[in-house]
Amino acid sequence: MSDRELRVSDAEREHVGQLLQRAVGLGMLSLGEFTERMDTALAAKTRGELNAVLIDLPGMRLVGRPAAPPSNFVNHPPGPAFAPRPAQPISGDGGSVIRARMSGVTRRGRWQVPPVLRLNSWMSSVTLDFTQAIMTTQVVELHMDDYCSGLTLVVPTETTVDLNNVDLIGSSISNKVRTGPPFGRLHLIVQGRVRFGSVTAKHPLSAHWRKLMGYQH
């Protein structure tokens, strides 16, 4: 069996996805081309199928077994331009990880919030509702590494949300709550990267209705 016929793992598909993201950031692929190639990469079963989405991108070389370098899986490209950027370290423990791939993810109700929460999503919609969540600390750090995704943070009143350390590429942020200093039971610090996506922090709709009713009295 040749290397091109070897089966690929989810980790290999994710690695190729990271390289495609870098190619978009460098202007080598359009968003439409990225979507088409990501679909192919996610459906790929063999190394030959997976390598096909990268073969025409300049600056990449295929590395693996010395006996057959042209057909092996991409391990890493030469030079720093295409090297996947490592996740930035954040304080606290390893935290909990939410991963989403072309999916919709919602955390709502009495879910337990760790001090550190990591979010990694591609082409997904993620909603984190903290209104009834169980907090273990007042300050929660959310580290993002998202692509073509939307994140909605629903927080109770007297919550503060800091979105100042989010690195945006073709993305938008809408913060409809106070930024600080912390004065309630939750202060949410969001940091990381968002590419071609959005982040929204808001209070639940019921809080807006109570505010309106209060104005009427």
For the stretch 173-191, pLDDT in tens is: 999 999 877 888 899 999 9
In contact, 155 and 201? CB cutoff 8 Å: yes
pLDDT at residue 75, rounded to an integer: 40
Q: How is residue 53 annotated by DSSP?
A: T
Would you call 181 exposed, middle or buried from its count of C-beta atoms within 10 A (0-12, 13-18, 19+)?
A: exposed
pLDDT at residue 74, rounded to an integer: 41
pLDDT at residue 51, rounded to an integer: 86
Nearest to 118 by CA among 151, 84, 164: 151
Q: Does the pLDDT of residue 37 top 90, yes or no?
A: no
In contact, 75 and 47? CB cutoff 8 Å: no
pLDDT at residue 213, rounded to an integer: 53
pTM across the whole model: 0.59
pLDDT at residue 84, rounded to an integer: 35
Query: What is the rounded CA–CA span in Å between residue 133 and residue 150?
Result: 21
Q: What are the extents of the domains in the chain?
A: 3-71, 96-205
Average confidence score pLDDT of the chain: 77
Query: What is the rounded CA–CA span in Å between residue 72 and residue 66?
Result: 9
* Strand-strand pairing, 125-129 and 150-154: parallel
Please write the tens of the pLDDT for every residue from 39-86.
888 888 998 888 888 888 875 544 333 333 333 334 433 333 333 333
Alpha helix stretches (DSSP H) within 26-63? 31-43, 47-51
In contact, 71 and 93? CB cutoff 8 Å: no
pLDDT at residue 36, rounded to an integer: 85
pLDDT at residue 116, rounded to an integer: 93
pLDDT at residue 4, rounded to an integer: 79
Structure tokens at 66: 């010395």
Query: What is the rounded CA–CA span in Å between residue 133 and residue 136?
Result: 10
CA distances from 156 to 59, 60, 135, 143 (A): 48, 47, 12, 20
In contact, 156 and 134? CB cutoff 8 Å: no
In contact, 91 and 70? CB cutoff 8 Å: no
Query: What is the rounded CA–CA span in Å between residue 194 and residue 189?
Result: 15
Structure tokens at 77: 């490209």
Q: Which of 27-36, 42-51, 75-84, 198-207 has the lowest mean pLDDT?
A: 75-84
Of residues 181 and 99, the one with the higher pLDDT is 99
pLDDT at residue 183, rounded to an integer: 80
CA distances from 12 to 77, 84, 170 (A): 14, 13, 26
Residues recorded for the chain: 217
Q: Which of 41-45, 123-127, 146-150 has the lowest mean pLDDT?
A: 41-45
